[in-house]
């Protein structure tokens, strides 16, 4: 997903603020590293220092920063506070973004309490669920409201970001409602592929996929060139049934 942002082919490409997607994904990491350095009372840092703190190599970091402009000083390094502000501004977290969370199960509950969301730049304006037994429950300083109020809330609070923490089943429907209510960015925790119209950005966080990627590498380590050879299908024309039930369905 995350459709290629307007890259008009024959455009002048002046400065055409086109920061590569890979770089955008690292800017928040740099921001966090800068905040940590700042909290330690460090006023200036070289690309080497920053790169170490962010867990990348210094050449990549310098190239990434160069897309934003020339914010360093040769022979010296980067001013921590200044660079921090520039990155924050570029990302857009110098302003507040209103966020709704839909689906107050275990995960939604956790996110509602998660101080990470409290990170300056984001403000949870509503917790929504369609289950009447959950509506009215207090979580932190918020009260769970009915999903039916979505449109009203989005309009009133200019909500542009929605977080989906429902089970897989209702996720697409919830997504559609969010989009038609005017939400244009979605963070999806439900284990399904969501379809959205162009212009809407969607990102996915999927725990079981992460685990499976780890498992793949883990298998490499233990097996080490001794992967059980392919069964080489004995009489493979029909359907193989009674296979161990693996993978996917994480639903309801």
Partner DNA sequence: TCGATTTTGTTCTCACGTTCACAAGCTCCT
Partner DNA sequence: AGGAGCTTGTGAACGTGAGAACAAAATCGA
Q: Binding mask 18-57 vs a second copy (x if CB under 8 A, - otherwise)?
A: ------xx-xxx-xxxxxx--x---x---------xxx--
> Restricting to residues 204-243, which ones interact with DNA according to CB under 7 A?
237
Pairing of strands 138-139, 72-73: unpaired
> Restricting to residues 60-119, which ones interact with DNA according to CB under 7 A?
60, 62-63, 65-66, 70-78
**Is 108 annotated as contributing to ligand binding?**
yes
CA distances from 228 to 213, 223, 224, 234, 243 (A): 19, 8, 11, 16, 16
C-beta of 55 vs 132, nearer to a second copy? 55
Nearby residues of 223 by Cβ (< 8 Å), 6 or more positions away: none
Interacting residue with a second copy among 126, 161, 171, 174 (CB under 8 A): 161
Nearby residues of 68 by Cβ (< 8 Å), 6 or more positions away: 19, 86, 87, 90
DSSP count for the chain of H helices, then E strands: 8, 10
> Restricting to residues 87-146, which ones interact with a second copy according to CB under 8 A?
87-95, 97, 99, 106-107, 109-111, 113-117, 119-122
Q: How many C-beta atoms surround the C-beta of residue 171 within 10 A?
A: 23
C-beta of 76 vs 215, nearer to DNA? 76
Report the phi/psi class of residue 77: left, alpha or beta, with left for phi > 0 and alpha for psi in -120 to 50.
left
C-beta of 85 vs 122, nearer to DNA? 85
Residue 67 interacting with a second copy (CB under 8 A)? no
Phi and psi dihedrals of 154, rounded to 5? Answer: -60, -45
Tokens 């998660």 locate to: 114
Bridge partner list, 100: 126, 162
> Restricting to residues 170-229, which ones interact with a second copy according to CB under 8 A?
184-187, 191, 193, 195, 199, 201, 203, 205-222, 225, 227-228
Interacting residue with a second copy among 58, 77, 153, 160 (CB under 8 A): 160
C-beta of 82 vs 122, nearer to DNA? 82
3-state class of 33 per DSSP?
helix
> Restricting to residues 29-58, which ones interact with DNA according to CB under 7 A?
46-48, 56-58
Binds 11: which of a second copy, DNA, none (CB < 5-8 Å by kind)? none
**Is 249 annotated as contributing to ligand binding?**
no
Binds 239: which of DNA, a second copy, none (CB < 5-8 Å by kind)? a second copy
Query: How far apart are alpha carbons 226 and 64 in whole angstroms?
Result: 40
The site for DNA (CB under 7 A) is made up of: 4, 7, 20-23, 46-48, 56-60, 62-63, 65-66, 70-78, 237
């Amino acid at each position: 997903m995350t459709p290629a942002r307007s890259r008009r082919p024959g455009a002048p490409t002046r400065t055409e603020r086109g920061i590569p997607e890979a770089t955008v994904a690292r800017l928040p990491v740099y921001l966090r590293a800068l905040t940590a350095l700042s909290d330690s009372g460090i006023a200036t840092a070289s690309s080497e220092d920053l790169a170490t703190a962010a867990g990348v190599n210094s050449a990549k970091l310098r190239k990434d920063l160069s897309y934003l402009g020339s914010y360093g000083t040769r022979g010296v390094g980067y001013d921590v506070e200044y660079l921090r502000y520039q990155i924050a501004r570029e990302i857009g977290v110098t302003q507040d973004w209103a966020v709704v969370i839909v689906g107050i199960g275990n995960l939604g509950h956790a996110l509602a309490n998660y101080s990470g969301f409290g990170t300056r730049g984001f403000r949870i304006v509503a917790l929504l669920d369609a289950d009447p037994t959950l509506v009215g429950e207090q979580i932190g300083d918020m009260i769970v409201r009915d999903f039916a109020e979505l449109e009203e809330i989005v309009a009133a609070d200019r909500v542009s970001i929605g977080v989906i923490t429902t089970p897989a089943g209702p996720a697409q429907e919830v997504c559609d409602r969010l989009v038609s209510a005017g939400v244009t960015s979605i963070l999806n925790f439900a284990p399904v592929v969501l379809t959205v119209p162009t212009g809407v950005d969607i990102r996915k966080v999927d725990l079981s996929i992460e685990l499976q990627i780890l498992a793949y590498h883990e298998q490499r380590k233990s097996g080490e060139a001794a992967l059980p050879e392919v069964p080489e299908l004995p009489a493979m024309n029909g359907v193989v049934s009674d296979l161990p039930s693996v993978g996917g369905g994480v639903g309801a």
